[in-house]
């Protein structure tokens, strides 16, 4: 049985439209969560709003929303004033354009949703829109209103349905220059880059999320199960960090040697290096002979 739909509306491509439903593609239901409790009674704690200046508890009818103009100075915004600027949802996903998928900067990707036809009558129109996008290998861009906010949503085929991913607006992204400008440009030798390339080759694989393991979540579940059964929790000894410092070239060489069955690349690199050295020695000897003969 499918979960309850998060949103219902109409998907439109020009004059073609069909009823659709949105389901969140992600869930945090399986993550281990903790509640704050009273150690003495074991009861769960409730949070209260406290006035930052007076320390008094603020009742629900006294709570309001305020925008901080400057430190400690707020302008209060009334609920009806917020409602006046909220965008009313027409429950329509109106496709505005189609773009190549590789043009979408992954930093803009936000929340994914599954889009499915709503009812048997919607299947034909839904399939037409989905298959047209498959043939063109394009991603649709549309607008949608979710929780009183307008979002841009990127839509692409996924199996029998569609995947819709809301996109961040440009003002939500930080400029990378403020983080990268101070990165120096050191002189890296070709040998180092080649060694790093060999290490990359030994780790070449394919994207397979089934291999992703959340070790922390597994440890949390084991901790809760052990504690609930009354068993003692043994704290591990802190690990000592290695203090030895090796050069970057040594670290690259040791990394390559540490890969079992991958020593061929290191030998190949060594042969190329010795070959270059041997050629240099031959040139040097030949030059020396010419000078002596002269």
User: pTM here?
Assistant: 0.75
CATH topology of domain 7-27+87-172: Ku70; Chain: A; Domain 2 (2.40.290)
Domain extents in the chain: 7-27+87-172, 49-84
Q: Is the pLDDT of residue 261 over 60?
A: no
Rounded distance between C-alpha atoms, residue 92 and residue 17, angstroms? 9
Residue 219: CB partners within 8 Å, gap ≥ 6? none
Strands (E), 56-108: 65-70, 73-77, 92-100
**pLDDT for residue 289 is more than 60:** no
The pLDDT value given to residue 264: 47
Mean pLDDT, residues 182-186 taken together: 89
Q: Inform me whether the pLDDT recorded for 233 exceeds 70.
A: yes
- Confidence at residue 181, expressed as pLDDT on a 0 to 100 scale: 92
Query: Residue 292: its pLDDT value, please?
Result: 44
Mean pLDDT confidence for 266-278: 48
CA-CA distances (angstroms) from residue 157 to 73, 129, 202, 209? Answer: 49, 9, 34, 19
């Amino acid at each position: 049985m499918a979960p309850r739909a998060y949103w219902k509306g109409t998907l439109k491509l020009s004059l073609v439209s069909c009823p659709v439903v949105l389901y969140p593609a992600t869930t945090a239901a399986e993550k281990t969560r903790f509640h704050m409790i009273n150690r003495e009674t074991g009861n769960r704690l409730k949070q209260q709003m406290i006035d930052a200046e007076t320390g008094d508890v603020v009742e629900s009818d006294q709570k309001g929303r305020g925008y901080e103009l400057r430190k400690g100075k707020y302008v209060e915004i009334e609920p009806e004033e917020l409602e006046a600027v909220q965008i009313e949802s027409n429950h329509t996903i109106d496709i505005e354009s189609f773009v190549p998928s590789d043009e979408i900067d992954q930093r803009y990707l936000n929340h994914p949703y599954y889009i499915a036809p709503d009812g048997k009558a919607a299947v034909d129109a839904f399939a037409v829109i989905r298959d047209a996008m498959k043939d063109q290998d394009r991603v649709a861009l549309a607008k949608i209103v979710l929780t009183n906010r307008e979002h841009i949503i990127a839509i692409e085929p996924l199996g029998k349905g569609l995947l819709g991913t809301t996109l961040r607006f440009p003002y939500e992204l930080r400029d990378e220059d403020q983080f990268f400008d101070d990165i120096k440009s050191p002189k890296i030798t070709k040998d180092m880059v080649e060694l790093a390339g060999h290490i990359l080759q030994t780790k070449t694989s394919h994207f397979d999320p089934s291999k992703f393991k959340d070790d922390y979540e597994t440890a949390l579940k084991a901790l809760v199960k052990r504690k609930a059964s009354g068993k003692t929790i043994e704290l591990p000894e802190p690990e000592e960090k290695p203090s030895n410092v090796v050069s970057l070239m040594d670290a690259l060489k040791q990394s390559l040697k540490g890969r079992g069955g991958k020593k061929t690349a290191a030998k190949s690199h060594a042969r190329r290096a010795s070959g270059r050295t041997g050629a240099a020695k031959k040139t040097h000897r030949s030059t020396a002979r010419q000078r002596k003969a002269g």
